Amino acid sequence: MKHYSQLTPEQRYIIYSMLKIGLTQSMIAKVIGVDKSTVSRELKRNSGKRGYRPKQADAFAKDRQQGKSGLALIYKVDRRTKENTEDAIKRLLSSISGQVHTITSDNGKEFANHEKIAKRFKCDFYFAHPYSSWERGTNKNTNGLIRQYFPKDRDFRTITDKELIHAMKRINNRPRKRLGYKTPNQVFFEGSYNVALTT
Pick the closest to residue 103 from 135, 134, 142 (CA basis). 135
> Could you tell me if residue 148 is inside a domain?
yes
Q: Burial, 147: exposed, middle or buried (Cβ in 10 Å; 0-12, 13-18, 19+)?
A: exposed
> Could you tell me if residue 17 is inside a domain?
yes
> Could you tell me if residue 3 is inside a domain?
no
> Could you tell me if residue 100 is inside a domain?
yes
Number of residues in the chain: 199
Same domain as 141, residue 86: yes
- The Cα 131–Cα 109 span in angstroms is 16
Instruction: Give the CATH number, domain containing residue 13.
Output: 1.10.10
What's the CA dihedral at 79, 105, 114, 97 to 10 degrees?
100
What are the respective helix, strand and coil percentages of the chain, to the nearest 5? 55, 10, 35
Instruction: Give the CATH number, domain containing residue 139.
Output: 3.30.420.10
DSSP states of 114-135 as a string?
HHHHHHHHT-EEEEPPTT-GGG
- The three-class DSSP label of residue 176 is strand
- The Cα 195–Cα 105 span in angstroms is 9
> Could you tell me if residue 154 is inside a domain?
yes
Same domain as 45, residue 17: yes
How many structural domains is the chain composed of?
A: 2
> Could you tell me if residue 30 is inside a domain?
yes
Query: Residue-wise pLDDT tens for the chain (199 aa)?
Result: 444 557 888 999 999 999 999 999 999 999 999 999 999 999 998 888 889 999 888 877 766 666 567 788 899 998 999 999 999 999 999 988 887 888 888 888 999 999 999 999 998 888 877 766 655 666 777 888 899 999 989 998 899 999 999 999 999 999 988 787 888 888 887 755 555 565 5
> Could you tell me if residue 4 is inside a domain?
no
> Could you tell me if residue 77 is inside a domain?
no
Same domain as 151, residue 99: yes
Structural domain boundaries, residue 17: 9-64
